[in-house]
Structure 1
Amino acid sequence: MAVRPRPLKSAESKPPARVNVGIIGTGIGGAHFDGYSKLKNVRVVGLVDVDPARGKSVAERWGVPVAHAFTSHQDLLSLKELDAVSVCTPNYLHAQIAIDALNAGKHVICEKPMAATLAQANELFNVAKKSDKVFMMGYNNRYRGDTQLLKKYIEAGELGDLYYGKCGWVRRHGAPGPGSWFSTKSMSGGGPLIDLGVHALDLAWWLMGKPKPVSASASVFNLLMPQEWERLGRPGTMDVEDAAVAHIRFANGAAVLLEVSWLLHTPKESFYCQVMGTKGGASAEPEFRICQDKHGAEVDLTPRAPNIGGHPAEIAHFVQCIRTNTQPLSTAEDGLLVMKMLDAIYRSGESGKAVTIR
C-alpha cells in the first residue's frame, strides 16, 4: 500500500498482543466482521444491534458470546477487554457513538459518512483530534489493490499535475424503501449524495492529492422518487434527493465533477472515477486504465493490479495502525473535509448559487 504511517501524539508502551474489537451495527458490520476474521490475533468480542433477536442470531453466526450481543453501545464499551470498535450504524448515530468510544479509550473505525450533518462531524473531529487513540474513516475504495497501484503511478509523477477529475455513482433504480432511515433526512443527512456520492468523491479527491476545497456549485433534484412512491402506494417519509450534480473547485485550481442518483432515466448503473493530469489521465472505475500520449501516439495501459478488496484491506490497515500506534490513511480530517464538500453541495442546491467552503 502507498501508506505513510505517522505516529499518534502519544505512544502506548506496549501494543496489544491480541486486538479485541466490537461491531456496532450488524448490516455493513458484516463486511467488517469478515475483515477481522481473516486476521491473526484479532477477535470480535461483542456486537450491538437494536433488535435483540437479530443480535443474538448474528452473534451465534459470528461465534460471538451471546451474552455480548448488546442493544446499547454503552454496554459494549463497558467491556474491559475491548480495544476497538467498528461504527456501522445509520448515519445520524455515527458521531455520538464514535465520540463515546474515543472517550472510553477505544480505537474507532467509522463507516462513511463521518456524520449526518457538518455540525456533528465537527464535534467528532474535535474529539478525535485530542484523542491518542486511532480514529479512521471507512473509505474502503482507497484500500483496493487497483486504487493503491494507481496512487503509486500518481505519486511517481507519471500523470503530471492533476487538474481535473470526474466521478459518480448513478443508479437507474436503486432507491431504498420509503420510511427507512435512508430516505429520512434527519437520520441519513441526505439521499444518494451522502450515500453513494461520498464514495466517488472521496476516491477522486484522494487520488488528486486531497487539495483544499474552496467552493461548490450544484443542482440537487427530487423529481422521480415522489412519483415512484405515489405509483406504488408506498407510505413513509421520503424527504431526501434522488439525484445531484456538482462542480467542486480547489485552491490549487483543480476541479471535480460529481453526479449521483438513486433514480434516473439512464441505461444502467455506473460507478466511475477518472482523474486527468498534464502528462496523462487514469480511470479507477469501471476499469483500471492509464491514458497517455507518447512519441506522437496515444498509449493506453491496463496494469494488472493485485486483486485486493477494499473492505478487508481497510480493516487490516486499521488493526495495523492500532498495533503500530500510527495515523491511518483515512483520517478524521479527511472525513471532515469530505463532509464540508457534501454540505456545500446541498447548500448550493438549495440556494441555486455557488457556496464557499471554509
Structure 2
Amino acid sequence: MKKIKFGVISASGMAQNHMAAICENNRAELKAVCDIDLEKALAAAAKFSLPPENVYTDYRLLLEREEIDAVVICTPDQLHRQMTEDSLAAGKHVLCEKPMALTREDCSAMIRAGEESGKKFMIGQICRYTPGFQKARELIASGEIGELFYVESEYAHDYEKVIPDAGNWRADPKRSGFLGGGCHAVDLLRWIAGDPIEVMAYANKKMLTYLPTDDCTISIMKFPNGVIGKVFVSIGCKRNYTMRSVFYGSRGTIIADNTTPSLTLFKAGLEQGSFLGCESKEVPILYPIALNNHNTVGEIEDFVTAIAEDKAVSTDGRQGAATVAASLAVLESVKTGLPVKPDYTIE
C-alpha cells in the first residue's frame, strides 16, 4: 500500500496535533515540517522522528519536494489564501485549518484554485469530528427529539493569554473573535440546522479593550424550516473553555459540548411515563462520549480516505466559505444594527 506523504506548514500546537494524527494513520506518513521559527520547527520534527533536513522555514521549499502528496496548513488565517493557492498549484492536496479565510474574495480565490487544480481541498472544521457533536447530529437525524425548533451554540474561550497584546497576529482588524474562533459554533449549527437565512447581532468590548475588534458577540439567527437559533461568542470571558450547545425538538432536548464525557438527552414519552414522581421529559439520559474536542485523528482519516479512495472531501471549500459568509453577515449586522441575509454565492 502506497502511503500518502504529508508536509505540515506550521509547528504550532494545532499543527503538532495534525502531525500526531498523520503518524497514527496507517495510510499516511509525515515527511516534512515548516515554520518561520526554525527552533520550533526542529523541535516538532524531532518529536515525530523527522531528520533536520526535512525541516524548512520557507513553505515554498517544502512544496518543491515531489514526494509530498498533501499538505496541512495551520498558519495564521491571513496566510491561508496564498499558501493554499501555492500548494494546489504545486500539485498537492490541501487541508487548510479554519476559518478558511477572512474575506469573501479570498474564499472565492481558494475555491477556484481547488477546482482548477483537480486536487482535494478540505477545510478543517474540527467540531464536525467532536464525538459529542457527532452523536447529537446522529440523534437529531434519527428523529430522537422530533422536529427541531431552536438551536444554540457558544464559543467561550478566554484569550487574555492567547492574545497578550495588539501585536499578536490574532489582533488583526480583519480577524474578529467571532470569525476566528466563533466560526466553530457557526459551522456546527450550519452542519445540524442548515445555512442561516438571516442574522441579527450585537457586540461589545469590555474585556480585551486593546483589541481593534469586539470581544463579545451574540447573534440571533433564522434557519431553514422555521428553526431559530443563537450563537454566543466571548473571547474575554472568565471561565473554562466550552462550546456548550443545545438542540430543542418537539419530543426532546439535547445538551452537548466538547469538554464533557457525556451528552444529555431529555425525551418526552418514555415507556415508563414517570420516574420518582418526575415526568419522563424531566429525567436526563446520559450518553457516554469520548472526550476529544480537537479530533484531528478523525479529520486526517477523512482527508486520507478522500485522497486514497478518490472521494469528495466532507468539508470542501464551498462549505468553508459558507461558514465564513454567515460569520461575516453577523459582523455586518453588528456594524449596521440591522438584520442581514448572508450571501452564499461564490463567483
**Fold similarity call, TM over 0.5:** yes
Q: Does 1:311 align with 2:311?
A: no
- 1:180 corresponds to which of 137, 145, 168: 168
Aligned residue for 1:55? 41
Cα distance, 1:79 vs. partner?
Answer: 0.6
- Counterpart code for 2:226: G
- 1:155 corresponds to which of 141, 149, 158: 141
Cα distance, 1:213 vs. partner?
Answer: 2.3
Instruction: Provide structure 1 residue ranges, at least 5 long, that are not aligned to the other structure.
Output: 1-15, 230-237
3-state DSSP class of the match of 2:197?
Answer: strand
3-state DSSP class of the match of 1:271?
Answer: coil
Aligned residue for 1:276? 248
Give CA-to-partner distance per residue, 1:231-281, whole Å, 9 cap, x none: xxxxxxx312211111122243222201111224x6655421111222222
Give CA-to-partner distance per residue, 1:100-122, whole Å, 9 cap, x none: 21222211111110012222112
Structure 1 residues 314-333: aligned runs within 5 Å: 314-333=299-318
Aligned residue for 1:34? 20
Report % sequence identity. 24
3-state DSSP class of the match of 1:355?
Answer: coil
Specify whether residues 300 and 130 from structure 1 end up closer, same or farther in structure 2 by C-alpha distance, changes over 3 A only: farther
Q: Does 1:290 align with 2:278?
A: no
Aligned residue for 1:255? 228
For the residues of structure 2 that align with 1:307 and 1:40, how far apart are their CA atoms?
23
Q: Does 1:353 align with 2:325?
A: no
For the residues of structure 2 that align with 1:160 and 1:118, how far apart are their CA atoms?
36
Aligned residues of 1:212 and 1:252 also touching (Cα < 8 A): no
Cα distance, 1:38 vs. partner?
Answer: 0.8
- Counterpart code for 1:347: E
Aligned residues of 1:177 and 1:183 also touching (Cα < 8 A): no
Give CA-to-partner distance per residue, 1:110-148, whole Å, 9 cap, x none: 111001222211221232234432211111221133322
- 1:213 corresponds to which of 196, 205, 211: 196
Aligned residue for 2:6? 21
3-state DSSP class of the match of 2:123?
Answer: strand
Specify whether residues 93 and 214 from structure 1 end up closer, same or farther in structure 2 by C-alpha distance, changes over 3 A only: same
Aligned residue for 1:66? 52
- Counterpart code for 2:252: G
3-state DSSP class of the match of 1:252?
Answer: helix
Number of residue pairs matched?
327
For the residues of structure 2 that align with 1:357 and 1:321, how far apart are their CA atoms?
29
Cα distance, 1:151 vs. partner?
Answer: 2.3
- 1:223 corresponds to which of 190, 206, 218: 206
Aligned residues of 1:200 and 1:272 also touching (Cα < 8 A): no
For the residues of structure 1 that align with 2:84 and 2:21, how far apart are their CA atoms?
20
Specify whether residues 151 and 269 from structure 1 end up closer, same or farther in structure 2 by C-alpha distance, changes over 3 A only: closer
- Per the normalisation by structure 1, the TM-score is 0.85
For the residues of structure 1 that align with 2:71 and 2:19, how far apart are their CA atoms?
11
For the residues of structure 1 that align with 2:195 and 2:41, how far apart are their CA atoms?
42
For the residues of structure 2 that align with 1:282 and 1:349, how far apart are their CA atoms?
29
Instruction: Provide structure 2 residue ranges, at least 5 long, that are not aligned to the other structure.
Output: 274-278
Aligned residues of 1:47 and 1:70 also touching (Cα < 8 A): yes
Specify whether residues 23 and 268 from structure 1 end up closer, same or farther in structure 2 by C-alpha distance, changes over 3 A only: closer
Cα distance, 1:353 vs. partner?
Answer: 1.1
C-alpha root-mean-square deviation of aligned residues, in Å? Answer: 2.1
3-state DSSP class of the match of 1:213?
Answer: coil
For the residues of structure 2 that align with 1:173 and 1:95, how far apart are their CA atoms?
25
Q: Which runs of 4+ in 1 moved over 3 A?
A: 171-175, 266-270, 305-309
